[in-house]
Amino acid sequence: MALFDLRCKDCQEEFTTIVPFSKLAEAKCPACDSQNHERVYKANVKGPLKASSSSGPSMPTSGFT
């Protein structure tokens, strides 16, 4: 199961649905019950992006051999 943001092509309603990818085409608009929709891609950014000062990801060193 995955979370998808969709826009109805008939009434322009934007909605979110949780369905398996294989059933995405069967998702229905909650406003008009249409299955004529397209995916909407939204940025999932919660704040300003910050550049890292390190040259790579930090890894814990304790407990690893």
Instruction: Tell me the pLDDT tens digit for each residue of 25-48.
Output: 999 999 999 999 999 998 766 766
Class of domain 2-39: mainly beta
Strand runs labelled E in 1-65: 2-8, 14-19, 37-39
In whole numbers, what is the pLDDT of the chain averaged over residues? 83
- What percentage of residues in the chain have a pLDDT greater than 70? 66
Six-digit token pair at 2?
């995955």
> Does residue 23 carry a pLDDT above 70?
yes
pTM of the model: 0.63
pLDDT score for 6:
96
Looking at residues 52-64, what average pLDDT do you find?
59
